[in-house]
Amino acid sequence: MKNGLWIAGVFVITAFAGCGSVPDKGAAKVAYVPGAKVDLRNTALVKENLYAQYSQWKNTKYQIGGLSRNGIDCSGFVYMTFKSRLGRVLPRSTAFQVELGETIDQNQLRAGDLVFFRTGMTGRHVGIYLEQGRFLHASTSQGVIISRLDENYWKSAYWKAKRLDG
């Protein structure tokens, strides 16, 4: 009985926590991978890298706290994508990723910008903008996919967008 209550408690906490439940310590900052930094103002190159990442990771299932092709959460996918494809080491959690960069209007989005969503009372979700209203992310229900900002769910959950330095 105690085990059942404990498991139920963990389920409730993770359901409300949203994506990126693995906390970081210290202030939110970006580090660079030596020799791998992509100029984020070069939208063609950024898109090329993001679509390559999608090809490698598409349909990888969602797993809270996951950081591999066996399962990954939204902030982990953003973390892995920026590290391996764009040469930047971001914080691991959505809570710290949202502190990075400059807030921009949705109509100013370009490839590589981070898009954030409120997915419940305390839940947060993050993805990477691609182009033409589409973004790349790890969906809790479908794994790594490309979605549209104008889909009813994402449109109603949209919170803010952040642009990292070039």
**Which DSSP symbol is given to 19?**
S
Distances, alpha carbon 88 to alpha carbons 10, 65, 72, 112, in Å: 32, 20, 18, 12
Q: Tally Cβ neighbours within 10 Å of residue 163.
A: 19
The answer to whether 83 and 128 are in contact (CB under 8 A) is: no
Please identify which of the residues 85, 92, 124, 125 carries the catalytic annotation.
125
Question: Is 96 in the active site?
Answer: no
25 token code pair: 């310590």
Q: How far is it, in rounded angstroms, from Cα 163 to Cα 145?
A: 21
Question: Is 30 in the active site?
Answer: no
Please identify which of the residues 22, 46, 50, 74 carries the catalytic annotation.
74
Question: Is 19 in the active site?
Answer: no
Distances, alpha carbon 133 to alpha carbons 106, 118, 163, in Å: 9, 18, 16
Please identify which of the residues 60, 137, 144, 154 carries the catalytic annotation.
137
Catalytic residues: 74, 125, 137
